[in-house]
Amino acid sequence: MWKIPLFDLNYDENETNAVLKVLSSKWLTTGQKTQEFEDKFSQYLGKDVFSVAVSSCTAALHMALLANNIKVGDEVIISSLTFVACLNVVQLVGATPVCADSKSFHDWNVSPEDIKKKITPKTKAIIIVHYAGYPCDMDEICKIAESNKLVLIEDVAHAVGAEYKGKKCGTLGHIGCFSFFSNKNLSTGEGGMIVTKDKDLY
């Protein structure tokens, strides 16, 4: 019988001391450490990136839709191979999720060709997932979004640090949504980040 853990934390006294320092500051959800994390994350992603820490990637995805006024009657194309949060947040704002298929058995990321097939006059946004840390075909997907005037949201829950042609994933679309859950490659236990280069969206 296989015994594969969902996650295997390797925390030590460094994390314990960091948590105790935050607890003693009495700033549990905002404050200096949160601001420092946002600033350093922005710097890591590259020039002119704004970052806002949130409670989860789900919250980031929800905020991305709200910030772009996605609402009842709209359609949002999403990667079919994803976590249920992508469908849930689309339904939460009253819009309709439309699943686009993966490219192949060898490339599990969303197919740009299938995205094109799913676009209708009601389509307002695309949520792509860089599955398992592998970047999607962003040149083609960005062209599709731009030519159809669609909001492009990157779900980067699996892909902190991944790059596409020298650019960090999460900075190629209009908004990037990150997860820092305990089984991710960068973890704060819980948490997420929403990032954008658009000052008005920020």
Which residue among 124, 168, 184, 197 is the active-site one? 184
Torsion of CA 183, 99, 97, 177, to 10 degrees: 30
CA–CA separation, 162 vs 166, rounded Å?
A: 9
User: Is 184 among the catalytic positions?
Assistant: yes
Q: Exposed, middle or buried, 46 (CB in 10 Å: 0-12/13-18/19+)? A: middle
Three-state secondary structure readout of 10-66? CCCHHHHHHHHHHHHHCCCCCCHHHHHHHHHHHHHHCCCCEEEEECCHHHHHHHHHH
CA–CA separation, 22 vs 20, rounded Å?
A: 5
Closest CA to 37 of 199, 191, 168, 197: 191
Torsion of CA 137, 95, 83, 103, to 10 degrees: -30
What is the set of active-site residues? 184
